[in-house]
């Protein structure tokens, strides 16, 4: 009997560990997507002089961080929903924008991420309902800083 209990506990521990690692991967991918998108939008505007006003206007681009093992693919975010997160881009005026990644459904592991025109990645630990520019500015800043490389195919 003890053998079955220990086997069951082992299976449960491995299952929970796998679930936790998968959730952690979703979180870090969302963080990377938000930061990469913010940096790309800023660079695109500086180089072309044109603004990307919505996610559907994103050109085909792939950005990678080989040191962190992440890849940003613009076509994934054009649909706005990818891997448990809803992505949104809003321009408030000439210089200010917000990029948000919000969990699709309530989840104790997944957090909301944002980047503003100052290009600081922020996280909402309190899951506040409203996300105004001023409220997001109060969110804690995460020291991310991924190394980005454009991939051309």
Answer whether 104's CB lies under 8 Å from 85's CB.
yes
Global pTM reads 0.85
Q: Tell me: the pLDDT tens digits for 72-83?
A: 888 988 888 888
Using CA atoms, how far apart are residues 60 and 2, in angstroms rounded to an integer? 57
In the block, residue with structure tokens 């990644």: 101
- Comparing CA positions, the residue from 82, 79, 90 lying closest to residue 29 is 82
Answer whether 86's CB lies under 8 Å from 68's CB.
no
**Burial group, residue 35, by CB count within 10 angstroms (0-12, 13-18, 19+):** buried
29-33 mean pLDDT: 91
Regarding predicted confidence, which is higher, 70 or 54?
A: 54
Residue-by-residue DSSP string for 9-78: HHHHHHHHHHHHHHHHHHHHHHHHHHHHHHHHHHHHHHHHS----SGGG--S-EEEETTTTEEEEHHHHH
How sure is the predictor about 23, in pLDDT bands with cuts at 50, 70 and 90? confident
How sure is the predictor about 85, in pLDDT bands with cuts at 50, 70 and 90? very high
Q: State the pLDDT at residue 148.
A: 63
Answer whether 120's CB lies under 8 Å from 37's CB.
no
- Comparing CA positions, the residue from 101, 115, 92, 102 lying closest to residue 41 is 115
How sure is the predictor about 149, in pLDDT bands with cuts at 50, 70 and 90? low
């Amino acid at each position: 009997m003890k053998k079955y209990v220990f086997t069951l506990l082992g299976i449960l521990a491995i299952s929970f560990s796998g679930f936790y690692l998968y959730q952690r991967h979703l979180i870090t991918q969302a963080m990377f997507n938000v930061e990469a998108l913010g940096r790309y939008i800023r660079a695109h505007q500086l180089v072309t002089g044109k603004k990307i006003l919505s996610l559907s206007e994103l050109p085909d681009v792939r950005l990678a961080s080989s040191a962190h093992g992440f890849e940003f693919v613009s076509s994934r975010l054009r649909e706005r929903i990818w891997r448990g997160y809803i992505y949104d881009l809003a321009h408030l005026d000439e210089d200010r924008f917000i990029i948000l990644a919000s969990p699709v459904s309530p989840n104790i592991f997944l957090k909301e991420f944002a980047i503003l025109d100052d290009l600081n990645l922020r996280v909402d630990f309190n899951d506040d309902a409203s996300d105004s520019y001023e409220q997001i500015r109060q969110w804690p800043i995460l020291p991310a800083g991924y190394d980005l490389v454009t991939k051309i195919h």
